[in-house]
Structure formats: C-alpha cells, structure tokens
Amino acid sequence: MSAPGVFITGAAAGIGRATALRFAANGYRVGAYDVDLGGLASLRDEIAARGGEIVIGELDVTDASAWSACLAEFAGAAGKLDILVNNAGVLTAGAFQDVPLTAHRQMIDINVYGALAGLHAAFPYLRDTADAQVVNMCSASALYGQPELATYSATKFALRALTEALELEWRRYDIRVLAMWPLFVNTAMTDGVETGSTKSLGINLGPDDVAKAVFSATRRGRRRLPRVHYPVGRQTSVLAAMSQVTPNWMQRLLTKMLART
C-alpha cells in the first residue's frame, strides 16, 4: 500500500516547512511547493536525510495552470490526493491608506485567489480519494476585522467563508474541509510587524505549534468529527470561544482595546 500524500503550499519556510517535516516524519509522501526554490531544496535534503519521501516544485499559487501541472505531477498515475494544505500567504501591516494598493492586491491574489485556484484544481483528485481532506490556513484575524491588518483580515474572512461553504458542499464527495486558526506566529511573515494587537498579545506561537495542530486535526481516526474550525494556541482558543457568546458590540470593544485604537 502506498503512503498517503499531502500537498503543501508555501512549504519552503515557516508553517509550511514545519508542516512538511511533521507529515514526512509520520510516513506521508510530501509534495512541497513554493516560489522559493532554494528553501525547497534544503527542505528536500532534510526530509531525504531522515528517510522521508518528498516531491518539490515551483508553484505560484495565483497561476491556475501551474496548480494543474503540479497536482498532476504529484498525484501521478493513481490520481489520488489525501490532504491539501493551503498554507501560502502574505501579510502587509499598517494603516490602510498607507499600504500601497499593490500590496493590498497581492494579499487578495495570494491569500484568497491562490487558495481558491488550488481548491478548484485539486477537486478531481480529492473526489477520487477516500477520506480526502483540505486544510485552509485561516487566522484569528477572521474573528473580527483587525485595524492595521484590514485587508489581511478580510482575506482570512473570505477563506473562512469558503471553508464553511465547501465543508457542506463537498461532504457528498466524502471530502473533509477544515480551517486552522493560529494567532500571530513567529515566522518571516511577522518579522518587523508591529501593530496594536501584536503589542497587546505578543507573538507566542511557533511554526511547529501550528504544524502539530494541523497533523492532529487530520490524523486518521478523527475523520468523523464534525468540527470545522481549529483554534491554535490558548489565546486563539479563548478569543474564538468569546466570539461565540459575545454580542458584536462587545467584540468590537475588545478588538478596539487589543488594537489600541
């Protein structure tokens, strides 16, 4: 029996890299894709040195044709895909009007369209694989719109809605769709990011924390759980729980306090 396969975007560094290492260590065949070929090469060497199986490739997630080519290469003749991890993303922080329009557009293109294009291209492979799963990397910024992270937050709201809709829509195909919800993670994405929220809450998660949560949420034996959203870390768990029981005005007030606006 062949090893299950996991296809990970944004895999050259940070959360994607940690997730690739985690799945490889647990017997998965890893497809690691990114625009950073140097990072992918070092990841391939690290996994291969540990006896793992990995395929790497260049993928700009905003290129639908590249998605199709990479998925076909990874799935091979069997045409199967056990897990898709939509992890690739970018963040530009700052006052909305001070962030260049090109940066706003890039966040939308990569964080939203990139995931959407991947889901669209991956569907036939997921449909034809028993117990297939999709992991979308959401964010605690999708609990309430975040000052100084307005567009990034909006992209994660969009990914949240896409996850919830497809979780229902694709259930008939036996495809599980879930969202991971980390708060700020200590990666290159948050280097130099100083917002009211980061100052109030700190950056307390590492890539391994998220990778561990992704693997736990998707491990075999948990397939029948109806859970869709997975907060990562104590802070996110508390904020997510509060969002379920507090009125909108209170969420606004809490966000205002944390963002120091």
Please determine, for residue 222, whether its predicted confidence score (pLDDT) is greater than 60.
Answer: no
How large is the C-alpha radius of gyration of the chain? 18
Q: How confident is the model at residue 224 (pLDDT cuts 50, 70, 90)?
A: low
Number of structural domains, the chain?
1
- In whole angstroms, what is the distance from residue 113 CA to residue 101 CA? 17
Please determine, for residue 250, whether its predicted confidence score (pLDDT) is greater than 90.
Answer: no
Residue pLDDT, tens place only, 68-115: 999 999 998 789 999 999 999 999 999 999 999 999 999 999 999 999
pLDDT of residue 51: 96
pLDDT of residue 49: 97
Task: Extract the runs of DSSP E, i.e. beta strands, from the chain.
Answer: 5-9, 29-34, 53-58, 83-86, 132-137, 175-182, 229-232
Q: How confident is the model at residue 255 (pLDDT cuts 50, 70, 90)?
A: confident
Please determine, for residue 221, whether its predicted confidence score (pLDDT) is greater than 70.
Answer: no
pLDDT of residue 200: 77
Torsion of CA 182, 233, 189, 197, to 10 degrees: 90
CATH of the domain at 135: 3.40.50.720
Q: What is the mean pLDDT of residues 61-72?
A: 98
> Could you list the residue range(s) of the whole structural domain that residue 244 is in?
5-259
